[in-house]
Amino acid sequence: MKIGVLKTDDVRPQLVEEFGEYPEMFAALLQREDPSLVFVTYEVQHGHYPDDIDEVDAYLMTGSKTGVYDDQPWIAPLMDFVRELHKRKKPTLGICFGHQLIAQALGGEARKSEKGWGVGVHSYEVQETPSWMVEPQGEFSLLVSHQDQVVALPPKTKVIASSDFCPYAMLQIGEHMLTMQAHPEFTKPYSKGLMELRQEVFGADMVEKGKESLHNDIHASAVARWMLAFLKSAS
C-alpha cells in the first residue's frame, strides 16, 4: 500500500534532529505493523499536491500548530482537496489538525475548546466497535497536544471514541475516512520535549501534569493496527 502524507506543519527545529519530521514518525509507527508500506509526502502547507489523486492508495493528514480557522492561504485549497477525497471515497486518515480540518471541510466545525489545552497522555472510551477495529477494547490511551477540538459533526459521521475532555475524539465519516484528535505517531520522549519547549504556551502546571501522565501506558501500536485495518477495509 502507498500512503500519501499530507504534511501541514514542520517539527520544531530543536526537536527535528532527534525525532524526525511528521511523515517519518508516521512511517515508523505504521511500518512496524506492515514493513511493505510506502510513503510519499506532499507539502500541502506549501501548496504541493499529487498530480493525480490516485497516484497513492490512501492519504494521511498530519497535525499542525495552525488552526483550521486561521487566515492561511493554504487552508482553503486543502479543504477543497478533502472534499474531492470525500467525493471520490478515497481512504483517508486525519490526525489532530487533520481530524479537525476534515470535519470542518465536510460540514462540521472545529474551534478552540473552552476546556483549554490537553497535553500528555489522555484516555478515551470506545463508543462503537466497527469491523476494522482489530483487537477491540473498551478504552485506550494516546499522547495529545491540542487546544482546538471538533465541536460539531459532519453528516454521516460516527463517533468511535470519546472522553469528557474531548467528546469527538475519534470519528468515522462514511466508510472511507477515519480521524482522531490524539497523536498515535508521538512517542513519550517527543511529547516531553514538546511540552518543555512550549511551557510558556501550556503553562508550568499543565506541563507538570502532562509530564506526570507519561507514566501511564499508551496504545499506539493497537491504534496503528486499527488505522491500517481501516484503510484496507476502505480500499
Q: Closest by alpha carbon to 104, among 34, 162, 168?
A: 168
Q: What is the pLDDT of residues 93-125, one digit of tens each?
A: 999 999 999 999 999 999 999 999 999 999 999
Between CA 150 and CA 141 the distance in angstroms is 19
| Contact assessment for residue 126 and residue 144, using Cβ atoms and an 8 Å cutoff | no
Q: What is the pLDDT of residue 147?
A: 96
Task: Supply the residues annotated as catalytic.
Answer: 96, 183, 185
- Indicate the average pLDDT of the chain: 97
Q: What is the pLDDT of residues 37-53, one digit of tens each?
A: 999 999 999 999 999 99
CATH of the domain at 87: 3.40.50.880
Q: What is the pLDDT of residues 53-96, one digit of tens each?
A: 999 999 999 999 999 999 999 999 999 999 999 999 999 999 99
Average pLDDT on 204-223 reads 96
Domain count, the chain: 1
pTM listed for this prediction: 0.97
Between CA 59 and CA 38 the distance in angstroms is 12
Residue 176 grid coordinates: 472511507
For residues 82, 7, 157 and 183, what is the CA-based torsion angle, rounded to 10 degrees? 180
Q: Which H or E element spans position 29?
A: helix 22-31
Expressed as residue numbers, the domain containing 182 is 2-234
